[in-house]
């Protein structure tokens, strides 16, 4: 059985899927059997027009053998609301089973979240199942994608503190849209490390094609 890890972000549309594709591509190029899993995708007509397809295409993964999505919804809404509109119940056991089935065949499985870490998967009939519950259930170490620019210190530290308060392992932070010549970006990186117990393990320049590691390769932190 392989090793899974989780990719979340400090918010929505911060490049989580883009960076997931870069990580999967790098793992595959290093010779690892690489898988991609996402519990729920919203705003997609089908698998071929989804985040999963984008990751598979960018990373050179097989959409049918290397990728698994448990729930696919057409409306671009939070998973719990999209599921409600389609009268679907998001089931913990299905997620657990789907994840472990792909994990059995891979060296590494990247699990991508939806939006930020406080994302409801189900709020039906007293059943509160949040994204952070899923991460705990699957025992996944997590990497947090954050923008390198203004406001990221607060957003990143808040996310780290919340996850650690739930006893979730934060393996590190990845700064997106990072400009190594920008004094604010450099200070944000240092400040995040100073104010938390987490390292910024990698940066990605705007539209960059690879991660720049600040310390060791990503998997060394899992």
42 belongs to an annotated ligand binding site: yes
Residue 182: both structure tokens together: 């920008």
> What is the percent of the chain where pLDDT is above 70?
98
127 belongs to an annotated ligand binding site: no
Q: What is the pLDDT of residue 214?
A: 82
Q: 99: pLDDT confidence band, cut at 50, 70 and 90? A: very high
Q: 150: pLDDT confidence band, cut at 50, 70 and 90? A: very high
Q: What share of the chain is helix, strand, coil (3-state, %, to 5)?
A: 40, 25, 35
Residue 10: both structure tokens together: 């400090």
Instruction: Tell me the C-alpha distance between 124 and 7, whole Å.
Output: 26
| Model pLDDT for residues 107-120, shown as the tens digit of each residue | 999 999 999 999 99
Q: 125: pLDDT confidence band, cut at 50, 70 and 90? A: confident
H-type helices in 9-130, by residue range?
Answer: 16-29, 51-59, 79-85, 92-103
> Do 55 and 20 contact (CB within 8 A), yes or no?
yes
177 belongs to an annotated ligand binding site: yes
Task: Show which residues are catalytic.
Answer: 38
Contacts of 47 (CB under 8 A, 6+ apart): 53, 63, 69, 72
> Do 198 and 170 contact (CB within 8 A), yes or no?
yes
15 belongs to an annotated ligand binding site: yes
Query: Quick one: fold of 3-213?
Result: Rossmann fold (3.40.50)
| Model pLDDT for residues 177-219, shown as the tens digit of each residue | 999 999 999 999 999 999 998 999 999 999 999 999 987 777 7
> Do 51 and 15 contact (CB within 8 A), yes or no?
no
Q: What is the pLDDT of residue 1?
A: 79
13 belongs to an annotated ligand binding site: yes
> What's the whole-number mean pLDDT along residues 33-54?
96
112 belongs to an annotated ligand binding site: yes
Residue 197: both structure tokens together: 């117990």
Instruction: Give the domain ranges of the chain.
Output: 3-213
> Do 189 and 179 contact (CB within 8 A), yes or no?
no
> What's the whole-number mean pLDDT along residues 68-87?
97
């Amino acid at each position: 059985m392989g090793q899974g890890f989780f990719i979340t972000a400090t918010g929505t549309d911060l490049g989580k899927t883009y960076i997931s594709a870069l990580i999967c591509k790098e793992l595959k190029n290093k010779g690892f059997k690489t898988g991609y899993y996402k519990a729920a995708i919203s705003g997609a007509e089908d698998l071929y027009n989804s985040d999963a397809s984008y990751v598979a295409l960018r990373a050179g993964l097989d959409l049918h053998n290397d990728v698994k999505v448990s729930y696919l919804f057409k409306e671009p809404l939070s998973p719990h609301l999209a599921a409600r509109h389609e009268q679907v119940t998001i089931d913990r056991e299905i997620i657990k089973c789907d994840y472990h089935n792909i994990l059995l065949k891979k060296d590494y499985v990247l699990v991508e979240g939806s939006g930020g870490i406080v994302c409801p998967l189900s709020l039906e009939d007293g059943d509160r199942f949040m994204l952070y519950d899923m991460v705990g259930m699957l025992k996944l170490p997590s990497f947090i994608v954050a923008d390198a620019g203004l406001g990221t210190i607060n957003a990143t530290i808040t996310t780290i503190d919340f996850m650690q308060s739930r006893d979730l392992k934060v393996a590190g932070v990845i700064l997106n849209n990072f400009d190594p010549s920008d004094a604010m970006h450099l200070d944000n990186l240092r400040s995040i490390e100073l104010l938390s117990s987490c390292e910024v393990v990698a940066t990605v320049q705007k539209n960059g094609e690879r991660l720049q590691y600040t310390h060791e390769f990503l998997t060394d932190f899992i």
